[in-house]
Amino acid sequence: MERHAESFTMTTQPSGLINAFVFLSKTLIYMKKLLILFIVFALPMAAFAQTKQCIIKGRLSSGLTDTLRVVSISKSYPLSQNVLMKNGEFSFTLPVDEPYMVSIGDDHTGGKVFFVEPGTIFFNGVKKLHEAKIHSSAPNSLNNQLADLEMRITHANGGSIPAIQDSLAAAMKRKDMVRAEELKERIAKGEALMKTEIISFIRQHPTSYASAFLLPAIYNKENPEESLALFRSLSPEVQTSDMGQQFMSLTVPKNTIAVGSKVPAFALDHNTRKLTLDQFRGKVVLLEFWASWCAPCLKEMPELIKIADSHKQKGFEVLAISLDVDDEKMRKAMDKYQMPFIHYTDLKGWYSHLAEKYNVNAIPYNFLIDQEGNIAAINVKGAELSEKLASLLK
**Amino acid letter at 144?**
N
64 vs 394: CA distance, rounded Å: 64
* Mean pLDDT split into 10-residue runs, the chain, 394 residues: 37 28 31 37 38 82 74 74 86 86 70 82 75 75 77 80 81 88 87 89 90 84 81 85 73 68 75 74 92 85 94 92 86 91 83 81 88 91 91 89
User: What integer pLDDT is reported at residue 39 of this predicted model?
Assistant: 35
71 vs 312: CA distance, rounded Å: 45
384 vs 382: CA distance, rounded Å: 5
DSSP annotation of 159: S
User: What integer pLDDT is reported at residue 269 of this predicted model?
Assistant: 63
User: What integer pLDDT is reported at residue 306 of this predicted model?
Assistant: 94
User: What integer pLDDT is reported at residue 391 of this predicted model?
Assistant: 92
User: What integer pLDDT is reported at residue 303 of this predicted model?
Assistant: 93
Residue count (the chain): 394
User: What integer pLDDT is reported at residue 86 of this predicted model?
Assistant: 86
153 vs 146: CA distance, rounded Å: 11
- The structural domains of the chain, with segments of one domain joined by +, span 6-15+255-392, 29-199
User: What integer pLDDT is reported at residue 209 of this predicted model?
Assistant: 85
User: What integer pLDDT is reported at residue 139 of this predicted model?
Assistant: 66
Q: Would you give the end-to-end CA distance of the chain in angstroms?
A: 27
- Three-class SS state of 243: helix
User: What integer pLDDT is reported at residue 3 of this predicted model?
Assistant: 38
Q: Alpha helix locations (H) across 251-381?
A: 295-311, 327-337, 353-357
Identify any residues that bridge with 284 across adjacent strands, giving them in sequence order: 316
One CATH from 3.40.30.10, 3.40.640.10, 3.30.700.30, 3.40.50.9100 for 6-15+255-392: 3.40.30.10
The model's pTM:
0.54
